[in-house]
Amino acid sequence: MKSKGRYLVFVVLLLFVALSALGCGDNQADGWVFATDHEYSVRPDGYPGLTELYDFEFADVTIMDLGITYQALRDGQVAVAMGFATDGRIAAYELVNLVDDKEFHPVYNVAPNVLADTLNEYPEIEGILNSVVPLLDEETMSQLNARVDIDGYEPDEVAREFLFDNGLIGETAPEADKGPISIGSKEFTEQLLLGQMAVLLLEDDGFDVQDNTGLGGTSIVREALENDEIQIYWEYTGTAWMAHFGNEEAITNPEECYNLVKEEDAANGIVWLDYSDFNNTYTIMMRQADAESMGITTISDLAEAINEGVPAP
């Protein structure tokens, strides 16, 4: 009897091990590690909302500085990572953006935000900053980002060359006779580039510009603008709609989102100037070779693979 009982226990254990190996009883396959920065991990238009809409969870979420997520994915430290659609490292590192087939992420067209009082005092700022906006399409912004992140140039160098080549600034700025004006930005590459463009454009028009680019994350820079610690920075329409104004439903039409945030911020004494054609929305990335071999092209495909227990690449 004892020997038969031990045999049954042994069989049960073998079955348990086999089922575990197949991923049964657990809808998250081992090895699916997701790299994200802290901001995306907590934003309503970030990881919490994404996984709720697509109904899946990663086995592990690793928080790291934004710039490192691309390298961690390229080097195989993680299976999936978040990034920005216009980042030059996506193509350079042979990564691919998964299609947001349920349209979770809002549009993120960028525009200069200027305090109304500042614009009333110096109305010429509107024309100066709007002059560069039509030049900023998705391909151009990706190339400028790559000049910093891949080629190793400083944001101010890339911004200066771009503006000069397009005839928007001269070789040297005139002596300042207006201002001072404080310009801020967030701390990632694209924001540093846009911030430097604003600095150089206003300096070229004779403004005494205080360079406060790279202040920090979204909430820090927005608070600095609201408190008149800076007077100008570039903001994304979707960020304002979701993060600043607390809306939960994404807007996927660029003009609609722009008009709504512009109207709402007018009551806050903040003016939205023209918005860019490029949409630097959040993106979920995989290595291109892995995505192709697994037949994953959309976020829904990714969710299905994880929920079905498919091992991570």
Closest to 84 (Cα-Cα) out of 225, 219, 240, 236: 236
Domains of the chain from N-terminus onward: 29-105+282-307 (3.40.190.120), 110-272 (3.10.105.10)
Tell me what pLDDT residue 214 has: 96
* % of the chain surpassing 70 pLDDT: 91
Strand pairing partners for 115?
Answer: 270
pLDDT in tens, 12-28: 333 333 334 433 334 44
Tell me what pLDDT residue 43 has: 84
Buried b (16+ CB within 10 A) or exposed e, 279-290: bbbbbbbbbeeb
Tell me what pLDDT residue 76 has: 96
Tell me what pLDDT residue 29 has: 56
Tell me what pLDDT residue 39 has: 87
Q: Could you tell me the pTM of the whole model? A: 0.77
Mean pLDDT of 130-147: 95
CB 223 within 8 A of CB 243: no
Tokens for 288? 């291109």
Mean pLDDT of 228-238: 97
Higher pLDDT, 46 or 16: 46
pLDDT at 8 over 90: no
Closest to 110 (Cα-Cα) out of 204, 229, 192, 212: 192
Quick one: pLDDT band at residue 117, thresholds 50, 70, 90? very high
Burial of 13 (0-12, 13-18, 19+ CB in 10 A): exposed
Tell me what pLDDT residue 3 has: 43
Quick one: pLDDT band at residue 230, thresholds 50, 70, 90? very high
pLDDT in tens, 183-194: 999 999 999 999
Mean pLDDT of 253-262: 96
pLDDT in tens, 56-95: 999 999 999 877 999 999 999 999 999 999 999 999 999 9
Report residue 29 CA to chain centroid gap: 27
Mean pLDDT of 145-163: 96
What mean pLDDT value characterizes the chain? 90
